[in-house]
Amino acid sequence: MTERRTIMTTVTPISIGNVTIGGGRPLVLIGGPCVIEGESHTLDLASSIAEIAARCGVPYIFKASFDKANRTSGHSYRGPGLDEGLRILAAVKGKLGLPVLTDIHEPDQAARAAGVADVLQIPAFLCRQTDLLLAAARTGKVVNIKKGQFLAPHDIRHAIDKVTSTGNRQVVVTERGASFGYNNLVVDMRSFPILRGFGFPVVFDVTHSLQLPGGGDGVTAGQAQFIDTLAPAGVAAGVDGVFLEIHENPPAAKSDAQNALALDALEPLLRLLVGIDRVRRESDGSRS
């Protein structure tokens, strides 16, 4: 039988640029396009998302990948690469003043990415890769560990332990669904209190949880129509942030087109989530 654990009542707040996540703070948005599609597109989209988040009173961290090394097909667009991608992410920070999150796939990318990014993200498929976790942790940056689709929530503790073994306790854990048969994912709402029980902020990656991995004949299919269903449920279950892939024209997105949130749908969703989060924090002393 799975071990029984007492859920911790204190979540360590983590500072990411001018944003603080966890420790009873209001809900944080991590969002942006799945992959960098060019400098002007990235800046325009980041600026638009930031304006919406500000109107809704939601702290915002920009997210985009310089390389999607795990695309279903070897012919799919991967991104601009490390050098150009980091240059564009630096422009987002410099011109818009936003904290930046990006993922790394190889240990030797960690130090380079840490020169720009405020958060180094460990992709779900790589969350058990010890050398990658240690390299990210040793930069001293915040490390966002995405829980693998193949892991039970309580097993993420081993990945957390690898990061904290370096002395770096700036950890965020992200839920992005669990494998459910072939080409499908499911989100177990019990996962959120279990993950928060390790004492670090927990983020719900809503849009990746709605992927249908490999279900699109060489591309990852998705079910963006259920974003409005999953996101409120996750916030009600108790998370410190939501992760959304956002695009002004999802059908034209170069990656994860079928599970991205349309930009014009962001504001009403955020306003709903803010209301749920406020009630949750007021009624649940475990979030403080």
Q: What is the pLDDT of residue 283?
A: 81
Domain 29-274 belongs to what architecture?
A: Alpha-Beta Barrel (3.20)
Q: Which of 145, 240, 159, 151 is nearest to 188 (CA)?
A: 151
Q: Which of 162, 182, 197 is nearest to 287 (CA)?
A: 197
Torsion angle, alpha carbons of 262, 99, 135, 171, to 10: -80
Contact 242, 235 (CB under 8 A): yes
Give per-residue burial for 123-150: e unless 16+ CB within 10 Å, then b.
Answer: bbebbbbeebbbbbbbbebbbbbbbbbe
Q: What is the pLDDT of residue 222?
A: 81
Please report which residue ranges of the chain form alpha helices under DSSP H.
39-56, 82-96, 110-114, 130-138, 157-164, 191-196, 227-237, 266-283
Give the pTM.
0.93
Q: Which of 99, 94, 97, 159 is nearest to 131 (CA)?
A: 159
DSSP 256: -
**E strand or H helix at 222, and its extent?**
strand 221-222
- Rounded to 10 deg, the angle between the 39-56 and 82-96 helix axes is 40
Q: What is the pLDDT of residue 219?
A: 66
Q: At 226, phi and psi to the nearest 5?
A: -100, 5
Residue 101 structure tokens: 């999150």
Q: What is the pLDDT of residue 134?
A: 98
SS3 121: strand
pLDDT by residue, tens only, the chain of 288 residues: 444 444 445 799 999 999 999 999 999 999 999 999 999 999 999 999 999 999 999 999 999 999 987 766 677 788 899 999 999 999 999 999 999 999 999 999 999 999 999 999 999 999 999 999 999 999 999 999 999 999 999 999 999 999 999 999 999 999 999 999 898 999 999 999 999 999 999 999 999 999 887 766 666 788 999 999 999 999 999 999 999 999 999 999 998 888 999 999 999 999 999 999 999 988 876 444
Q: What is the pLDDT of residue 159?
A: 98
